[in-house]
Amino acid sequence: MRLPSIPIIFHMQEITLFKFRTINKYLIDALVKGTIYFARPTLLNDPFDCRVDIKKAVEHAISCLSGKKKHNLSKLSNVKDFLDRIQQRIGNVGICSFSLVLESPLLWSHYANGHRGLCLTYNIPGEFFFAPENRFVGVFRVDYDYNPLTEWFVENAPEKAVTDLKEFTIGVVNKVLAIKGKDWGYEEEIRIIQEKEGNFSIPKDFLKQVCFGLDTPKSDISLVKQIIDNAGYSLEYCQIARSEQDFGLKIVKI
């Protein structure tokens, strides 16, 4: 089953995205080659991410409904292999995650090796997401809630019998790709989705800033700066420092 074409969910002239990274051979290779990596859902650190049980959510939604919406959603759930094929295909997509925030202690702790890594700042023009050669499935701002898929089925259960499954399929896929549990809300995630996993080349001039962590070793800072300076980038460097607040962070140019 091929995923349907899903619209980009927001329109922009340009968007600033932050990518937190550990300093290792994979980062170095990505910087040298100018790539970002799209990971399969099974490689993500949240076992529910893009792997919410669609059948279970539908069953829960049906139990909350009555009348025609209950009847029509029940009929959809019984279409042979319909939900199974959606679940299977979503499991094969590639996901590249970014954040909308830089000064988050939790993000630095969880995704930048305990404040010893770095964060890459990308300014990406809107047209990049729509270029057909890039073959993006979509770009999503993640929604964080307790039962977002069940609630979507309750709200969008059809009032009339469905004869064309395409529109409904798009809605399901769109929702599953863009939801996480409430506890993950601190991430403020934007994610780009492709049909498959793997490295993807992007223009090096999209990378505008490298910010090192509060505890990034000086030797790692020197190494990364040397690699970047030799790889054809033109960007700024900064580092996280303690702010005047007890647990606050601030950005200092270096």
Q: What is the DSSP string of 23-34?
A: -SHHHHHHHHHT
Residues 194, 137 contacting (CB under 8 angstroms): yes
Q: How confident is the model at residue 164 (pLDDT cuts 50, 70, 90)?
A: confident
Q: Take residue 63 and report the two structure tokens written for it.
A: 């139990």
Picking from 6-15, 110-119, 150-159, 232-241, which range would have the lowest pLDDT averaged per residue?
A: 6-15
Amino acid type, 154: V
Tell me the C-alpha to C-alpha distance, in Å, between residue 87 and each of 178, 215, 238. Answer: 14, 41, 42
pTM, 2 dp: 0.92
Q: Check pLDDT > 60 for residue 8.
A: no
Burial state string for 51-90 with b = 16 or more CB within 10 A and e = fewer than 16: ebebeebbebbbeebeeebbebbeebbeeeebbeebbebb
- So what's the pLDDT on residue 162? 84
Q: How confident is the model at residue 16 (pLDDT cuts 50, 70, 90)?
A: very high
- So what's the pLDDT on residue 11? 58
Domain coordinates of the chain in residue numbers?
A: 14-253
Cα angle for residues 217, 254, 100 (degrees, 5° grid): 85
Position of tokens 């001039």? 205
